[in-house]
A and B are shown apart, each in its own frame.
Chain A
């Protein structure tokens, strides 16, 4: 393959990864937009959900790549797996909000954020202690189908990722722009007090944001497992860092920002890994995070970030 072909392949890979990061970043940014809270636990909800997805698929009898399904069976299996994973993730997110964040609603400062660090730790270690530190082979019913387009290889699973990601993003967009509750969410994010005066139940809006955000993380988690064919207790940290940076880069609190940021970070990861070295990608991404927060805190598409008055 020519150099050009390699790069193009990495672009394709980057877009697939980016779609997954975008979903994860979206969930994160939904909560931030309303509460201005950096929820560390979000990324380990992602990690836990990937295990839930794995168990859901195993429940259907699929383990490893031994069972390959097609057509209706495949669609049904995937639908089941996504449904279970997303709902479980959503419930977990809501539980976290109820138990550990609601009591801290009025407290100013970083207390709530610190609590999410603690919750994140708990999730991380529960998995580590129960499932162990090894990588789990992810059950994958997808047939391995490849298409060759010039120098680039496209796999079925990549189409799946794009399909699911686009579908979810469209659904989210539809939700926030056309449904009553969705608009209430946007209104609350822009002016919670005024929204309350319109009769909006702000508590309900917050719970909805957590549910939806976590469900998106759940979808991203299942995608991760199907794409990489593995999962482990550490993926919350690695994918989380990238999704977090994506949200910040795109403009924290902005929904289109999370989508754009996700794609950019996916591309940066694959191209960076190709052009520089894989072991430096973490540093590159952390550096982007720091640089954006220090110099352009609003990100690419976001509104003004809070600084000292």
Chain B
């Protein structure tokens, strides 16, 4: 469904992603792991379109995303759950959800999507008229995921969904991610918390200073010592 082919990105003269290849098939949960400054966030931004690769190509459903605007990508079915949630702080939960559906036509689908979201997130329905900025971190994360779902995505890109959340909420969030996936949405998730991520993912990639050093089925990676080395930032000098 999504494919990175030899992608390089730069930030000024800083070489961030170095010839990375990802492949995500429809229906999977794939997670991208790595320590700090490994290029995880940049990957997300490249998918959404706010970072443009300096080399290589990103293919979605077989077509290149080169030159495709962010709005168009959302319309084609890629929706982000942003790092640190980034809800619109002074808008209500309902209005945030409306913004999630910005690229969708206003019609009966909107009500349907709302209903679906309410089933998944009963808490969100309770807090519908509340100002988003006043919600707790965990509640905001729910709203953020709900907001992304309003765009009827085929591919949900999640950037560090567990960050800043209490353990109870982390479990809830990962639970919901699995449910959404079972309902048919492909999930590509950047995560710091490797243990939790690998527990629910099908496959995973491990990134270190912009390069993929490990990839494979989650079950295998869970046992792999290398992960620990990668996370603790041990260099591979060869």
Task: List residues of chain A with CB under 8 Å of any chain B CB.
Answer: 180, 183-184, 186-187, 190-191, 193-201, 303
Tell me the minimal C-beta distance from A201 to chain B in angstroms.
Answer: 6
Point out the residue from A183, A193, A201 that lies within 8 Å of B99, measured CB to CB. Answer: A183
Point out the residue from B71, B75, B90, B151 that lies within 8 Å of A190, measured CB to CB. Answer: B90
Tell me the minimal C-beta distance from A100 to chain B in angstroms.
Answer: 25
Point out the residue from A190, A191, A198, A303 that lies within 8 Å of B102, measured CB to CB. Answer: A198
Please name all residues of chain A whose beta carbon is closer than 8 Å to the beta carbon of B74 when the two chains form the complex.
Answer: 197-199
Interface residues of B in 95-112 (CB under 8 A from A): 95, 98-100, 102-103, 106
- Say yes or no: is B89 at the interface (Cβ < 8 Å to chain A): yes
Contact between A198 and B103, CB atoms less than 8 A apart:
yes
Interface residues on B, range: 20 to 34
- Say yes or no: is B227 at the interface (Cβ < 8 Å to chain A): no
- Say yes or no: is B114 at the interface (Cβ < 8 Å to chain A): no
Please name all residues of chain B whose beta carbon is closer than 8 Å to the beta carbon of A303 when the two chains form the complex.
Answer: 90
Task: List residues of chain B with CB under 8 Å of any chain A CB.
Answer: 48, 50, 70-71, 74-75, 80, 82, 86-91, 95, 98-100, 102-103, 106, 147, 151
Contact between A199 and B102, CB atoms less than 8 A apart:
yes
Contact between B103 and A199, CB atoms less than 8 A apart:
yes
Q: How many A-B residue pairs have CB under 8 A?
A: 58
Tell me the minimal C-beta distance from A181 to chain B in angstroms.
Answer: 10
Point out the residue from B71, B89, B91, B98 that lies within 8 Å of A199, measured CB to CB. Answer: B71
Please name all residues of chain A whose beta carbon is closer than 8 Å to the beta carbon of B106 when the two chains form the complex.
Answer: 180
Contact between B98 and A183, CB atoms less than 8 A apart:
yes
Cα distance A273–B42 when bound, in Å? 59
Cα distance A303–B90 when bound, in Å? 10
Seed contacts A186-B95, A191-B89; 10 additional CB < 8 Å A-B pairs:
A180-B102, A183-B95, A184-B102, A186-B91, A190-B88, A190-B91, A194-B88, A195-B99, A197-B82, A198-B147
Which residue of the partner chain A has the closest CB to B48?
A197
Contact between A187 and B103, CB atoms less than 8 A apart:
no
Which residue of the partner chain A has the closest CB to B71?
A199
Please name all residues of chain B whose beta carbon is closer than 8 Å to the beta carbon of A195 when the two chains form the complex.
Answer: 88, 99
Tell me the minimal C-beta distance from B194 to chain A in angstroms.
Answer: 25
Cα distance A194–B198 when bound, in Å? 28
Cα distance A183–B100 when bound, in Å? 11
Cα distance A173–B87 when bound, in Å? 22
Closest 3 CB pairs of A and B: A199-B71, A199-B103, A199-B74
From A183, A198, A201, residue with most partner B Cβ within 10 Å: A198
Tell me the minimal C-beta distance from B126 to chain A in angstroms.
Answer: 22
Please name all residues of chain B whose beta carbon is closer than 8 Å to the beta carbon of A191 when the two chains form the complex.
Answer: 86, 88-89
Contact between A196 and B50, CB atoms less than 8 A apart:
yes
Please name all residues of chain A whose beta carbon is closer than 8 Å to the beta carbon of B102 when the two chains form the complex.
Answer: 180, 184, 198-200
Please name all residues of chain B whose beta carbon is closer than 8 Å to the beta carbon of A180 when the two chains form the complex.
Answer: 102, 106
